A and B are shown apart, each in its own frame.
Chain A
Amino acid sequence: MFTTFIIFQSVGMLPGGMLRDKYGPRWTTAIAGLFSGVGILSIALGPSYPLVLVLWCVGSFFTGFIYNNAVTTGNKWFADRRGVMTGLIAGAFSWGSLPFIFPIRAIPASAPPETFFTVVYIMAAIIGGVSIVAALLMKDPPSGWKPMGWVPKTKAIARPSEHNYTVSEALKTGQMWVLIVSFILVSSAGLAGMSNMVAYSNSFHFTATAATAAAGGIALANGFGKLTLGTLSQRLGVENTMILSYIVSGLFLFLTIYAGMNRSEWLFVCAAILAIFFWASLFSLFPIAIGHYFGAAAAGGNYGVLYAIAKGSGGLYGGILSTMLITQHGFPFAITIAGVMAIVAGLILIPLKYSPPIWKDDEAAAQLNARAAVGRG
């Protein structure tokens, strides 16, 4: 079900983004919130597995709408603070589980199902109710709107081109495909670790406390990684922050293997948390890069297409292929592959630092100016 969530949520990002670019975030958020509430409620409707799975997939699909609406709306209103605001909104996706993780883990295995279902009913009611209230307050700014008097002060946040790319224009640039491949690699790496964290900890015979600390810690680190590195990208530049984050994340994944083999519980928990801290930044840095390279007008569609292709593929590795690798070769082998993928994801972004997408009219104007300068010289 974890994998079906990743795939359906990712697929939902694309229509969600295109519909919100066309009709605004209000109705799409409200309707998606109701379906998402039904999706979480499905957990309590078994044991008819087909019914549970269908409703879960429908709910997962519509969480993609909410995710895209939230990130893109922040991106459109906060061109002046894109890093911190996108990081904050993306971070909320991680922090929101915390009020539920600890009560759920505190439910003993011997408790009647109704105890767990009560938590599920509460989650479903909150998802439906809050999304309707949030939808009433969400609206897009007019196209091209910027905060009054704001001009980008540093090269790091000034766009390489003023053109607003449509989805098909963005997909015709090589830079978009480099972003897609990098996103596939890094999301596969992190999802492999995150979806299996408790089992990964248990494989080294660590205590239940270590597993809970790692599971809770990665939820916290996940949110703060998005916020901290999103904010940092406004100083370092989005490409530098992405390259640094994914390489460091890969190195910390290797450290979890070392810690496990040396039976060091605290080192394992710290390395796992730090790997996820750096990894999670992809969910704030990629939307920032999309807005930075391709503009705000079709930001929902552009981020939706990147997310749909890349996280869906990442979910396949993180959920299914990594489980097969773990079963056949063990955790250290699967996590080593994940570490290598994260490092490669960072390395392939290096060329983007030197050749960001430039719209052909801007490029032609620059060439004309250069020729004119040579003629004058």
Chain B
Amino acid sequence: MDQTDREILGYSRYVVLAAAFSAMFIISPFEYAWSSMSGHTARSTAGRPSRWR
């Protein structure tokens, strides 16, 4: 267990941190932008012909 992060990964563990941070950052709108999106979603889908029915 005497390996460093660079020996295990080939790069710093901070690169893994940046990747985890980015993955988390991009899924945020599902929850935290919902109160801003809900009105547009309701308005813009009402009465619109569906492309997928």
Contact = CB atoms under 8 A, between A and B. Distances in A.
Given A2-B38, A77-B13, A145-B1, A130 B26 contact: yes
The dominant DSSP class at the B interface is: helix
Interface in B19-40: 19-40
Interface residues on A, range: 35 or more
Nearest to B50: A48
A198 B35 contact: yes
Contacts of B36: 100-101, 104-105, 215
B23 A113 contact: no
A73 B16 contact: yes
Contact of A145 (B8, B11, B32): B8
A333 interface: no
Interface centre among A89, A90, A142, A194 (most CB of B within 10 A): A89
Interface centre among A90, A96, A107, A198 (most CB of B within 10 A): A96
B52 A45 contact: yes
Nearest to A214: B35
A70 B33 contact: no
Given A40-B29, A96-B32, A104-B40, A45 B23 contact: no
B26 to A, nearest CB: 5
Interface residues of B, number: 47
Nearest to B39: A109
Contact of A134 (B8, B9, B19): B19
A43 B38 CA distance: 9
A326 B40 CA distance: 23
Given A67-B24, A116-B40, A48 B35 contact: no
Given A63-B27, A101-B32, 17 more contacts: A2-B34, A40-B29, A46-B46, A48-B53, A66-B27, A70-B21, A70-B24, A89-B20, A93-B31, A96-B24, A107-B40, A109-B43, A113-B40, A130-B22, A137-B16, A139-B8, A195-B35
Interface of B: 1-5, 8-9, 11, 13, 15-41, 43-53
